[in-house]
Amino acid sequence: MNIYDLTFEELENYFLDIEEKKYRASQVFKWLYKERVLSFDEMTDLSKELISKLKKDFNINYPLVVKEEHDKDVSKFLFKLNDNEHIESVVMYHDYGISLCVSSQVGCNMKCSFCESGKRGRVRNLLPSEMILQVIQIEKIIKKRISHIVVMGIGEPFDNFDNLVTFIKNANNPKGLEIGARHITVSTCGIVPKIYEFANLSYQVNLAISLHASNDKLRDELMPINKVYKLEELIESIKYYLKKTNRRVTFEYILLKGVNDKKENALELCKLVKDLNCYINLIPYNENSDKKYKKPKNDEIMKFYDIIKKEGINVTVRREFGSNISAACGQLRSKKEE
């Protein structure tokens, strides 16, 4: 097992189990998360016996970066995992800091009609270590600190719930990556029971919901998950989340030309979310391999934006990052090296 798969508490319990002192967990976490050593031998404040015990029970295997692509404010990294599967992560340089878009699965089972990541189906969940090490590995390469994490890469994070929670704990823990909860965003297509479960954890991380349509008929067509959890149930679960956490949610809404970008769509969207503490993030569609949809023209995007704004709802248009290197939303793939 990779030692990065354990939370701090789990590591404390491990040491208690082997009749060691609990504070060993603090020592080891410092080596892992602050010093970022690549082997147990480098943990110089541990005894030889303890080091060989750790070596027997754990490994520190990093996923390898096998390809990097750079564009103006964005870099994309292709990782090769230990079983030869591949995933991608994307770094975005903002004026407020550096954010990393982390993948949560190899492939994805959600089959949203506009998204490249689901083309292969879910191959497997990523381990917490494979999510954490995307951050650490990339920080080592860019030699800068990542200030924000968005779990918006390949995969549906709520379809890998337990590993996601371990990841969040270790990302947020001051002894871990030490990234503030409010700097972490999880995006889901709307797996309703998991939204309740997440709400009950009362984390202060940001929740984003991929909405993309404001009625069931259209959402059924775009996102198969809507056949399982209808909009009404989804909105109910979000109300519960808001009550429980006192946070604001983000609704992501892709703009697909001629599909969901008309005036009546905007008005229907406003009606759907008007009583919720939320904001809407419009995502101009990023074209990908199947050419099924088109991106609306800029003035059509702004018209849609203006309607929402006029209704008094907070709205932004997502800056288009990385489409030159296929690093934008919906373009990431779990592809083998070409």
**Smaller CB separation from ligand SAH, 127 or 327:** 327
Segment contacting ligand SAH (CB under 6 A): 34-42, 108-116, 173-181, 298-306? 108-116
Binding mask 286-315 for ligand SAH (x = CB under 6 A): x-x---------------------------
What phi, psi does 234 have (nearest 5°)? Answer: -60, -50
Position among 235, 272, 273, 283 found at the interface with ligand SAH (CB under 6 A)? 283
Position closest to ligand SAH via CB: 330
Q: Which of 67, 64, 63, 47 is nearest to 55 (CA)?
A: 47
Region near ligand SAH per CB under 6 A, out of 164-172, 182-190, 195-203, 300-308:
182-190
Taking CB under 6 A as the rule, does residue 189 contact ligand SAH?
yes
Q: Annotated active-site positions, please? A: 88, 329
- Give phi and psi for 120, each to the nearest 5: -90, -5
Binding region for ligand SAH (CB under 6 A) out of 25-33, 55-63, 132-140, 284-292: 284-292
Going through 177-248 in order, the beta strands assigned E by DSSP cover 184-188, 206-210
Distances in Å between the Cα of 296 and the Cα atoms of 113, 172, 258, 307 are: 17, 38, 8, 15
> Binding of ligand SAH at residue 259 (CB under 6 A)?
no
Alpha helices in 88-191 (DSSP H): 128-142, 161-172
Residues 196-225 that bind ligand SAH (CB under 6 A): 210
Q: Applying CB under 6 A, which of residues 32, 213, 254, 301 lies at the interface with ligand SAH?
A: 254
Contact with ligand SAH (CB under 6 A): which of 92, 152, 191, 218? 152
Q: Which region among 43-51, 74-82, 107-115, 240-248 touches ligand SAH (by CB under 6 A)?
A: 107-115
Residues 44, 49, 55, 56: what is their CA dihedral angle, to the nearest 10 degrees?
-170
CB within 8 Å of 181: residues ≥ 6 apart: 168, 172, 203, 204, 205
**Ordered DSSP codes for 283-299:** EEPPP-TT--S-PPPHH
Instruction: State which amino acid sits at residue 243.
Output: K
Cβ-based nearer residue to ligand SAH, 63 or 153: 153
Helix 161-172 vs helix 192-201: crossing angle, to nearest 10: 30
* Shorter beta-carbon distance to ligand SAH: residue 24 or 122: 122
Name the residue type at position 141: I
Footprint of ligand SAH on this chain (CB under 6 A)? 110, 112, 114-115, 152, 156, 187-189, 210, 252, 254, 283, 285-286, 288, 329-330
